Structure 1
Amino acid sequence: MVPSTRRRPARERLLAAASARFYADGIAATGVDTITAEAGVAKMSLYNNFPSKAHLVDAYLDARHAEWLALYRDRVAAAGDDPRARVLAVFDAYLDHADAFYPDGFRGCGLLNAAGELPAGDPGRATIRAQKEEVEAIVAAHLRDLLPDDVPRAAALAEHLAFLLEGSTSRAGLEGDDRRIRHARAIAVDLLDAR
Protein backbone atom coordinates (compact mmCIF):
# COMPACT_ATOMS: atom_id res chain seq x y z
CA MET A 1 0.00 0.00 0.00
CA VAL A 2 1.33 3.43 -1.00
CA PRO A 3 1.30 5.95 1.85
CA SER A 4 -1.00 8.92 1.39
CA THR A 5 0.70 12.08 0.17
CA ARG A 6 -0.90 13.79 3.18
CA ARG A 7 1.32 11.71 5.47
CA ARG A 8 4.51 12.95 3.83
CA PRO A 9 6.21 15.84 5.61
CA ALA A 10 4.96 19.26 4.57
CA ARG A 11 8.35 20.21 3.10
CA GLU A 12 8.29 17.21 0.75
CA ARG A 13 4.70 17.91 -0.28
CA LEU A 14 5.47 21.57 -0.92
CA LEU A 15 8.54 20.77 -2.99
CA ALA A 16 6.65 18.13 -4.99
CA ALA A 17 3.79 20.54 -5.67
CA ALA A 18 6.16 23.37 -6.58
CA SER A 19 8.18 21.09 -8.85
CA ALA A 20 5.09 19.94 -10.73
CA ARG A 21 3.68 23.44 -11.14
CA PHE A 22 7.00 25.19 -11.89
CA TYR A 23 7.70 22.64 -14.61
CA ALA A 24 4.20 22.66 -16.11
CA ASP A 25 3.27 26.32 -15.76
CA GLY A 26 6.51 28.20 -15.12
CA ILE A 27 7.92 29.83 -12.02
CA ALA A 28 6.42 33.30 -12.50
CA ALA A 29 2.96 31.92 -13.30
CA THR A 30 2.89 29.74 -10.18
CA GLY A 31 1.85 31.51 -7.02
CA VAL A 32 2.33 30.33 -3.47
CA ASP A 33 -1.44 29.88 -3.11
CA THR A 34 -1.40 27.33 -5.93
CA ILE A 35 1.52 25.49 -4.37
CA THR A 36 0.03 25.37 -0.88
CA ALA A 37 -3.36 24.27 -2.21
CA GLU A 38 -1.82 21.47 -4.25
CA ALA A 39 0.37 20.41 -1.33
CA GLY A 40 -2.60 20.53 1.04
CA VAL A 41 -0.88 22.76 3.59
CA ALA A 42 -1.41 26.22 5.03
CA LYS A 43 0.55 29.14 3.63
CA MET A 44 2.34 29.46 6.97
CA SER A 45 3.68 25.95 6.47
CA LEU A 46 5.32 27.06 3.23
CA TYR A 47 7.08 29.93 4.98
CA ASN A 48 8.08 27.70 7.88
CA ASN A 49 9.88 25.45 5.38
CA PHE A 50 11.01 27.99 2.78
CA PRO A 51 11.56 31.60 3.91
CA SER A 52 10.53 32.87 0.47
CA LYS A 53 9.47 31.73 -2.96
CA ALA A 54 13.07 32.27 -4.06
CA HIS A 55 14.20 29.67 -1.52
CA LEU A 56 11.57 27.28 -2.88
CA VAL A 57 12.87 27.91 -6.42
CA ASP A 58 16.41 27.12 -5.23
CA ALA A 59 15.20 23.84 -3.71
CA TYR A 60 13.40 23.04 -6.98
CA LEU A 61 16.56 23.61 -9.02
CA ASP A 62 18.57 21.37 -6.71
CA ALA A 63 15.87 18.68 -6.79
CA ARG A 64 15.68 18.70 -10.61
CA HIS A 65 19.43 18.24 -10.88
CA ALA A 66 19.48 15.54 -8.19
CA GLU A 67 16.72 13.73 -10.07
CA TRP A 68 18.82 13.71 -13.25
CA LEU A 69 21.96 12.65 -11.36
CA ALA A 70 20.08 9.64 -9.98
CA LEU A 71 19.06 8.62 -13.51
CA TYR A 72 22.65 9.10 -14.67
CA ARG A 73 24.07 7.00 -11.81
CA ASP A 74 21.76 4.13 -12.77
CA ARG A 75 22.75 4.40 -16.44
CA VAL A 76 26.48 4.71 -15.81
CA ALA A 77 26.40 1.72 -13.45
CA ALA A 78 24.84 -0.33 -16.23
CA ALA A 79 27.53 0.91 -18.66
CA GLY A 80 30.28 -0.70 -16.60
CA ASP A 81 33.87 0.27 -17.30
CA ASP A 82 33.42 1.04 -21.01
CA PRO A 83 34.16 4.79 -21.43
CA ARG A 84 32.19 4.99 -24.69
CA ALA A 85 29.13 3.44 -23.04
CA ARG A 86 29.60 5.80 -20.11
CA VAL A 87 29.46 8.83 -22.43
CA LEU A 88 26.27 7.47 -23.98
CA ALA A 89 24.87 6.88 -20.49
CA VAL A 90 24.65 10.66 -20.15
CA PHE A 91 22.44 10.79 -23.25
CA ASP A 92 20.42 7.85 -21.96
CA ALA A 93 19.80 9.65 -18.67
CA TYR A 94 18.51 12.66 -20.64
CA LEU A 95 16.22 10.27 -22.51
CA ASP A 96 15.02 8.77 -19.24
CA HIS A 97 14.22 12.26 -18.02
CA ALA A 98 12.35 13.07 -21.24
CA ASP A 99 10.40 9.82 -21.03
CA ALA A 100 9.35 10.30 -17.40
CA PHE A 101 5.66 10.81 -16.79
CA TYR A 102 4.73 14.48 -16.98
CA PRO A 103 0.97 14.93 -16.48
CA ASP A 104 0.99 18.18 -18.46
CA GLY A 105 3.48 16.95 -21.10
CA PHE A 106 7.22 17.07 -21.60
CA ARG A 107 8.49 20.66 -21.80
CA GLY A 108 12.24 20.08 -22.08
CA CYS A 109 14.80 20.74 -19.41
CA GLY A 110 13.24 22.20 -16.29
CA LEU A 111 16.52 23.90 -15.46
CA LEU A 112 16.78 25.67 -18.80
CA ASN A 113 13.10 26.61 -18.60
CA ALA A 114 13.76 28.13 -15.17
CA ALA A 115 16.87 29.95 -16.42
CA GLY A 116 14.75 31.54 -19.14
CA GLU A 117 12.48 33.03 -16.47
CA LEU A 118 15.08 34.18 -13.98
CA PRO A 119 16.54 37.66 -14.47
CA ALA A 120 20.21 38.21 -15.24
CA GLY A 121 22.19 38.12 -12.04
CA ASP A 122 19.69 35.92 -10.18
CA PRO A 123 21.56 33.36 -8.04
CA GLY A 124 19.40 30.61 -9.55
CA ARG A 125 21.01 31.20 -12.94
CA ALA A 126 24.45 30.62 -11.40
CA THR A 127 23.13 27.40 -9.85
CA ILE A 128 21.84 26.21 -13.21
CA ARG A 129 25.08 27.13 -14.94
CA ALA A 130 27.06 25.12 -12.36
CA GLN A 131 24.73 22.15 -12.85
CA LYS A 132 25.14 22.27 -16.63
CA GLU A 133 28.91 22.59 -16.22
CA GLU A 134 28.82 19.50 -14.00
CA VAL A 135 27.12 17.53 -16.79
CA GLU A 136 29.77 18.67 -19.27
CA ALA A 137 32.51 17.74 -16.77
CA ILE A 138 30.99 14.26 -16.46
CA VAL A 139 31.09 13.85 -20.23
CA ALA A 140 34.65 15.21 -20.34
CA ALA A 141 35.84 12.75 -17.70
CA HIS A 142 34.45 9.81 -19.67
CA LEU A 143 36.02 11.16 -22.86
CA ARG A 144 39.43 11.51 -21.16
CA ASP A 145 39.14 7.82 -20.28
CA LEU A 146 38.21 7.06 -23.89
CA LEU A 147 40.92 9.30 -25.41
CA PRO A 148 43.72 9.30 -22.83
CA ASP A 149 46.34 10.26 -25.42
CA ASP A 150 44.40 13.22 -26.81
CA VAL A 151 43.17 15.40 -23.94
CA PRO A 152 42.55 18.48 -26.17
CA ARG A 153 40.35 16.37 -28.48
CA ALA A 154 38.48 14.96 -25.47
CA ALA A 155 37.83 18.48 -24.15
CA ALA A 156 36.61 19.77 -27.51
CA LEU A 157 34.39 16.73 -28.02
CA ALA A 158 32.93 17.15 -24.52
CA GLU A 159 31.91 20.70 -25.35
CA HIS A 160 30.35 19.56 -28.65
CA LEU A 161 28.42 16.78 -26.95
CA ALA A 162 27.23 19.14 -24.20
CA PHE A 163 25.89 21.52 -26.86
CA LEU A 164 24.25 18.57 -28.60
CA LEU A 165 22.61 17.45 -25.34
CA GLU A 166 21.26 20.85 -24.40
CA GLY A 167 20.16 21.82 -27.91
CA SER A 168 18.38 18.53 -28.50
CA THR A 169 16.65 18.75 -25.12
CA SER A 170 15.45 22.26 -25.89
CA ARG A 171 14.04 21.16 -29.24
CA ALA A 172 12.55 18.03 -27.67
CA GLY A 173 10.76 20.24 -25.17
CA LEU A 174 9.31 22.36 -27.94
CA GLU A 175 8.14 19.26 -29.78
CA GLY A 176 6.95 17.43 -26.67
CA ASP A 177 8.74 14.13 -27.20
CA ASP A 178 12.20 12.52 -27.11
CA ARG A 179 12.92 12.22 -30.86
CA ARG A 180 15.49 15.06 -30.92
CA ILE A 181 17.38 13.55 -27.98
CA ARG A 182 17.38 10.13 -29.68
CA HIS A 183 18.74 11.77 -32.82
CA ALA A 184 21.38 13.59 -30.76
CA ARG A 185 22.42 10.27 -29.22
CA ALA A 186 22.82 8.80 -32.73
CA ILE A 187 24.99 11.79 -33.71
CA ALA A 188 27.06 11.25 -30.56
CA VAL A 189 27.58 7.61 -31.56
CA ASP A 190 28.84 8.77 -34.98
CA LEU A 191 31.19 11.31 -33.37
CA LEU A 192 32.55 8.73 -30.94
CA ASP A 193 33.06 6.18 -33.71
CA ALA A 194 34.87 8.78 -35.86
CA ARG A 195 37.43 9.56 -33.19
Structure 2
Amino acid sequence: MPERISARTKLLDAASRLFYANGISATGIDAVIAEAGVAKMSLYNNFASKTGLVSAYLEARHEEWLGLYRAHLAHADGSAGGVLAVVEAYIDHAEAGYEHGFRGCGLLNAAAELPAGDPGRQVVAGHKAQVEGIIRSHLEELAAPDEAAALAEQISFLLEGAISRAGLEGGSELLYRAKSLIDAMVRAL
Protein backbone atom coordinates (compact mmCIF):
# COMPACT_ATOMS: atom_id res chain seq x y z
CA MET A 1 0.00 0.00 0.00
CA PRO A 2 1.51 3.38 -0.99
CA GLU A 3 2.42 5.76 1.83
CA ARG A 4 -0.09 8.57 2.29
CA ILE A 5 1.35 12.04 1.90
CA SER A 6 -0.01 14.61 4.33
CA ALA A 7 -1.77 17.74 3.10
CA ARG A 8 0.95 19.80 4.81
CA THR A 9 3.67 18.02 2.83
CA LYS A 10 1.72 18.39 -0.41
CA LEU A 11 1.23 22.11 0.24
CA LEU A 12 4.91 22.66 1.11
CA ASP A 13 6.06 20.73 -1.95
CA ALA A 14 3.72 22.70 -4.20
CA ALA A 15 4.71 26.01 -2.60
CA SER A 16 8.38 25.13 -3.01
CA ARG A 17 8.00 24.47 -6.73
CA LEU A 18 5.82 27.51 -7.40
CA PHE A 19 7.62 30.00 -5.15
CA TYR A 20 10.97 29.06 -6.70
CA ALA A 21 9.73 29.04 -10.30
CA ASN A 22 7.43 32.08 -10.21
CA GLY A 23 8.27 34.00 -7.05
CA ILE A 24 6.35 34.40 -3.83
CA SER A 25 4.45 37.53 -4.81
CA ALA A 26 3.35 36.07 -8.14
CA THR A 27 2.10 32.85 -6.53
CA GLY A 28 -1.32 33.04 -4.94
CA ILE A 29 -2.64 30.57 -2.42
CA ASP A 30 -5.18 29.29 -4.95
CA ALA A 31 -2.31 28.25 -7.23
CA VAL A 32 -0.57 26.44 -4.36
CA ILE A 33 -3.81 24.66 -3.40
CA ALA A 34 -4.44 23.61 -7.01
CA GLU A 35 -0.84 22.41 -7.47
CA ALA A 36 -1.03 20.46 -4.20
CA GLY A 37 -4.39 18.93 -5.10
CA VAL A 38 -5.88 19.57 -1.66
CA ALA A 39 -8.93 21.38 -0.31
CA LYS A 40 -8.63 25.07 0.56
CA MET A 41 -9.27 24.33 4.24
CA SER A 42 -6.14 22.14 4.22
CA LEU A 43 -4.08 25.28 3.77
CA TYR A 44 -5.68 27.02 6.73
CA ASN A 45 -5.62 23.86 8.86
CA ASN A 46 -1.84 23.70 8.39
CA PHE A 47 -0.80 27.34 8.03
CA ALA A 48 -2.41 30.44 9.51
CA SER A 49 -1.87 32.40 6.29
CA LYS A 50 0.28 32.70 3.21
CA THR A 51 2.89 34.29 5.48
CA GLY A 52 2.92 31.10 7.55
CA LEU A 53 3.31 29.02 4.40
CA VAL A 54 6.19 31.23 3.24
CA SER A 55 7.93 30.87 6.61
CA ALA A 56 7.53 27.09 6.50
CA TYR A 57 8.88 27.07 2.93
CA LEU A 58 11.95 29.06 3.99
CA GLU A 59 12.56 26.78 6.98
CA ALA A 60 12.22 23.73 4.73
CA ARG A 61 14.77 25.14 2.24
CA HIS A 62 17.15 25.78 5.14
CA GLU A 63 16.74 22.20 6.42
CA GLU A 64 17.17 20.86 2.89
CA TRP A 65 20.48 22.72 2.55
CA LEU A 66 21.65 21.45 5.96
CA GLY A 67 20.89 17.91 4.82
CA LEU A 68 22.97 18.35 1.67
CA TYR A 69 25.84 19.81 3.70
CA ARG A 70 25.73 16.98 6.25
CA ALA A 71 25.75 14.38 3.47
CA HIS A 72 28.92 15.91 2.02
CA LEU A 73 30.46 16.40 5.46
CA ALA A 74 30.09 12.67 6.15
CA HIS A 75 32.61 12.05 3.34
CA ALA A 76 34.80 15.11 3.91
CA ASP A 77 38.49 14.87 4.61
CA GLY A 78 39.31 17.02 7.63
CA SER A 79 38.53 20.66 8.25
CA ALA A 80 39.40 21.78 4.72
CA GLY A 81 37.03 19.12 3.44
CA GLY A 82 34.37 20.50 5.77
CA VAL A 83 34.63 23.91 4.13
CA LEU A 84 34.37 22.30 0.70
CA ALA A 85 31.30 20.33 1.90
CA VAL A 86 29.57 23.71 2.26
CA VAL A 87 30.45 24.56 -1.33
CA GLU A 88 29.29 21.14 -2.55
CA ALA A 89 25.89 21.74 -0.93
CA TYR A 90 25.61 24.98 -2.93
CA ILE A 91 26.59 23.09 -6.10
CA ASP A 92 23.94 20.47 -5.35
CA HIS A 93 21.31 23.20 -5.26
CA ALA A 94 22.49 24.61 -8.57
CA GLU A 95 22.33 21.17 -10.18
CA ALA A 96 19.02 20.06 -8.66
CA GLY A 97 17.20 19.95 -11.99
CA TYR A 98 14.57 22.58 -11.34
CA GLU A 99 11.55 22.31 -13.60
CA HIS A 100 12.01 25.82 -14.98
CA GLY A 101 15.79 26.02 -14.63
CA PHE A 102 18.15 27.20 -11.92
CA ARG A 103 17.39 30.76 -10.77
CA GLY A 104 19.87 31.10 -7.92
CA CYS A 105 19.47 30.69 -4.19
CA GLY A 106 15.80 30.24 -3.38
CA LEU A 107 16.32 31.82 0.02
CA LEU A 108 17.91 34.96 -1.41
CA ASN A 109 15.25 35.14 -4.11
CA ALA A 110 12.57 35.02 -1.44
CA ALA A 111 14.30 37.62 0.74
CA ALA A 112 14.47 39.99 -2.23
CA GLU A 113 10.68 39.84 -2.49
CA LEU A 114 9.88 40.23 1.19
CA PRO A 115 9.56 43.66 2.78
CA ALA A 116 12.05 44.89 5.38
CA GLY A 117 11.12 43.54 8.77
CA ASP A 118 9.30 40.50 7.39
CA PRO A 119 9.96 37.41 9.56
CA GLY A 120 10.96 35.48 6.44
CA ARG A 121 13.93 37.77 5.93
CA GLN A 122 15.09 36.84 9.43
CA VAL A 123 14.95 33.15 8.48
CA VAL A 124 17.12 33.85 5.43
CA ALA A 125 19.56 35.99 7.42
CA GLY A 126 19.77 33.24 10.04
CA HIS A 127 20.53 30.65 7.36
CA LYS A 128 23.29 32.77 5.82
CA ALA A 129 24.77 33.46 9.28
CA GLN A 130 24.69 29.75 10.08
CA VAL A 131 26.47 28.90 6.82
CA GLU A 132 29.21 31.43 7.62
CA GLY A 133 29.41 30.02 11.15
CA ILE A 134 29.83 26.49 9.80
CA ILE A 135 32.65 27.66 7.55
CA ARG A 136 34.25 29.53 10.46
CA SER A 137 34.06 26.48 12.74
CA HIS A 138 35.94 24.38 10.17
CA LEU A 139 38.53 27.12 9.65
CA GLU A 140 39.09 27.53 13.40
CA GLU A 141 40.65 24.07 13.31
CA LEU A 142 43.21 25.41 10.83
CA ALA A 143 43.82 29.02 11.90
CA ALA A 144 43.55 31.45 14.79
CA PRO A 145 39.98 32.57 15.57
CA ASP A 146 40.39 36.08 14.12
CA GLU A 147 41.93 34.77 10.91
CA ALA A 148 39.27 32.05 10.66
CA ALA A 149 36.46 34.60 11.11
CA ALA A 150 37.90 36.92 8.46
CA LEU A 151 38.42 34.11 5.96
CA ALA A 152 34.95 32.67 6.67
CA GLU A 153 33.45 36.06 5.84
CA GLN A 154 35.43 36.24 2.59
CA ILE A 155 34.41 32.71 1.61
CA SER A 156 30.80 33.46 2.46
CA PHE A 157 30.87 36.58 0.26
CA LEU A 158 32.47 34.60 -2.55
CA LEU A 159 29.85 31.85 -2.31
CA GLU A 160 26.93 34.28 -2.22
CA GLY A 161 28.27 36.13 -5.23
CA ALA A 162 28.86 32.88 -7.09
CA ILE A 163 25.37 31.52 -6.37
CA SER A 164 23.80 34.82 -7.44
CA ARG A 165 25.74 34.92 -10.70
CA ALA A 166 25.14 31.21 -11.27
CA GLY A 167 21.43 31.92 -10.97
CA LEU A 168 21.69 34.60 -13.62
CA GLU A 169 23.58 32.25 -15.92
CA GLY A 170 21.38 29.26 -15.08
CA GLY A 171 24.12 26.78 -14.21
CA SER A 172 26.73 25.68 -11.72
CA GLU A 173 29.97 26.59 -13.56
CA LEU A 174 30.68 29.66 -11.42
CA LEU A 175 30.23 27.60 -8.27
CA TYR A 176 32.89 25.17 -9.45
CA ARG A 177 35.19 28.11 -10.08
CA ALA A 178 34.40 29.46 -6.60
CA LYS A 179 35.18 26.00 -5.19
CA SER A 180 38.64 26.10 -6.77
CA LEU A 181 39.28 29.57 -5.33
CA ILE A 182 38.04 28.54 -1.90
CA ASP A 183 40.13 25.37 -1.95
CA ALA A 184 43.24 27.49 -2.70
CA MET A 185 42.35 29.95 0.08
CA VAL A 186 41.99 27.15 2.63
CA ARG A 187 45.16 25.35 1.50
CA ALA A 188 47.11 28.59 1.99
CA LEU A 189 46.46 28.45 5.74
**1:189 counterpart = 2:180:** no
**1:145 counterpart = 2:141:** yes
Cα shift at 1:194: 2.2
Cα shift at 1:98: 1.0
- Identity between Structure 1 and Structure 2 (%): 58
**How many residues get paired?**
189
Residue 7 of structure 2 contacts residue 38 of structure 2 at CA under 8 Å; is this kept in 1? yes
Q: Which sections of structure 1, spanning at least 5 residues, go unmatched?
A: none
Match of 2:31 in 1: 34
Cα shift at 1:76: 0.5
Moved over 6 A (4+): none
Matches within 5 A, 1:13-162: 13-80=10-77, 82-147=78-143, 150-162=144-156
Cα shift at 1:29: 0.3
Q: TM-score, normalised by structure 2?
A: 0.97
Cα shift at 1:193: 2.2
Q: 2:170 aligns with which of 176, 179, 187?
A: 176
Q: Report Cα offsets for 1:83-117 as digits up to 9, x if no partner.
A: 11111110011111111121111111000000000
Given residue 145 of structure 1, which amino acid in structure 2 is its aligned partner? Answer: E
Q: CA RMSD in A?
A: 1.2
Q: Which sections of structure 2, spanning at least 5 residues, go unmatched?
A: none
Q: Report Cα offsets for 1:109-140 as digits up to 9, x if no partner.
A: 00000000000111111111011100000000
Between the aligned partners of 2:149 and 2:25, the Cα distance in structure 1 is 37
Residue 80 of structure 2 contacts residue 187 of structure 2 at CA under 8 Å; is this kept in 1? no
Residue 12 of structure 2 contacts residue 57 of structure 2 at CA under 8 Å; is this kept in 1? yes
Given residue 9 of structure 1, which amino acid in structure 2 is its aligned partner? Answer: S
Q: Report Cα offsets for 1:45-83 as digits up to 9, x if no partner.
A: 111111100000000000001000000000001014x11
